[in-house]
Amino acid sequence: MANLIRETAGGMRALTTEDILFSNREIFLTDSVDSATSTELIKQLMVLEKLDPEKEITFYINSPGGEVVSGLAVYDYIQIMKAPVRTVCIGTAASMGAILFLAGEKREMLPHTRLMIHDPAYGGGDMAGKKPHELQQYVDKLRQTQEIAAKLIAEKTGKTLEEICEKTREDSWFNAEEAIEYGLATGIVDKTNVEFPDF
């Protein structure tokens, strides 16, 4: 882990990469979405909002997706925050990673990154020995999750639910230009609009 030595009032201090970026209101999701990563993200968002509820937070995403409930918890928290959140795709934002990307007011992508949206899939587990009504309950929950995700995507893109459901039947991939055209992203990060932090 890289460190930067900085002189402070209390003497020389070694700062990690994460310390430096966090002090510039930049947070990252570079793994699957689960209870641990979502809890850590929410804690970071809480701290940054308390420090300054008006100043923008940049949330960088490179994630294959993950648990729906954990991801929606982060999405919901971002929606109730006063501080504006800008999301930036820095690799691949797929499945729940794409939903979290949509949480931002400004949603930007690096030029060669990509997004993927699709219907929620069976999360594993042994279905052997399950009774018909138990299987139906699982299918019903899966459909509820599908409706929630489709509504979120429709709200952000301006598409109809029917259009979204048709698009998410299969894995639908978008490059930066395609994501902007579809309404998933709002811009592309390049050297004309990037702002480098002041360390």
Q: Which residues are catalytic?
A: 95, 118
CA distance 94 to 139: 22
Distance of CA 37 to the CA centre of its chain: 11
CA angle 9, 83, 174 (to 5 degrees): 115
Residues 6+ apart with CB under 8 A from 58: 25, 26, 27, 85, 86, 87, 88
Q: Which residues of 110-160 form beta strands (DSSP E)? A: 114-117
- Contact between 75 and 44 (Cβ < 8 Å): no
- Contact between 15 and 2 (Cβ < 8 Å): no
Q: Which among 15, 77, 86, 10 has a CA at the least distance from the CA of 40?
A: 77
Q: 3-state SS string over 66-81? A: ECHHHHHHHHHHHHHC
